[in-house]
Structure 1
């Protein structure tokens, strides 16, 4: 079966920052990634490259920021009162956080993921850009399985819509 909309795709990947030739993450030593094509979010350029691929295919692709996690937006970084900043899972911040520590920021639109730039006494400088925004990424992909998603998988993924890619 070829990858088309509503196909459940299981694959391994390795992402490398193509400018620094540094591995960023990989699933090859862990559980493979799964997603439902056309429903569950993966970077736009990766989704486009996966169309028509099938079980056993192995390929490499380089994605510019616009096709990966977007351009870096300097306006997505700013100062936030500390009372609105939490550790992942809504846990209170206690003590000094190192730059780069993942956090969640309570906004009028709900919780937004970010990372610490600098922590002050009453405020924190937070960057809400995706950690891979602005990077040109090289992907190495191995398709392990392609099948029709079940109706329950489609229903669960359709109702998820968190953008986390975990559904």
Structure 2
């Protein structure tokens, strides 16, 4: 059976950056990934790579930022006063902190810099702006 929209797919995947570093590898987990195409688990670009594949297929794809996690948006970088941070949410470069939105949902931000009383937080996806190498092994399609 070939993968199509609505298919349930069990797979292993590796996401590599252009420098060869691995951002994600499902073989490091106790079980392979399982998703339904179209459920929002993957971006449209990643899903398009899977369409037409079937169990036993192994493929490698290179996705530009626009098809992977998008381009970095400078409007998603915000500046906060250092006083808004505490031991539970430290103002330390590299810290990933959950920020509450007005609707109650939380969104993660990465502290990019701390200068005096100003903390720069980036709300872009951590892989935004990156070209991604996407290796997949399809285990099961239903």
Q: Kindly report the root-mean-square deviation, in angstroms, between the aligned alpha carbons of the 2 structures.
A: 2.2
Match of 2:50 in 1: 50
What do the CA deviations read for 1:122-150 (whole angstroms, capped 9, x no partner)?
Answer: 65321000000000000110001111xxx
Q: 1:26 & 1:42 partners in 2: Cα distance?
A: 15
- Residue 101 in structure 1 maps to residue 98 in structure 2: no
Name the CA distance, whole Å, in 1 between partners of 2:119 and 2:55.
46
Is 1:63 paired with 2:63? Answer: yes
Q: For the Cα contact (< 8 Å) 1:84–1:105, is it kept in 2?
A: no
CA distance 1:81–1:60, shift in 2 (3 Å):
same
Inter-partner Cα distance in structure 2 for 1:56 and 1:79:
48
Q: Which runs of 5+ in 2 are unaligned?
A: none
Structure 2: how far apart are the matches of 1:33 and 1:47?
14
TM-score computed with the length of structure 1 as normaliser: 0.74
Gaps of 5+ in 1: 86-91, 148-167
Which stretch has the larger CA shift, 58-67 or 93-102? 93-102
Decide whether aligned partners of structure 1 residues 84 and 95 sit closer, same or farther in structure 2, where only a CA change above 3 A counts. closer
1:2 shift after superposition: 1.2
- Give the aligned length: 140
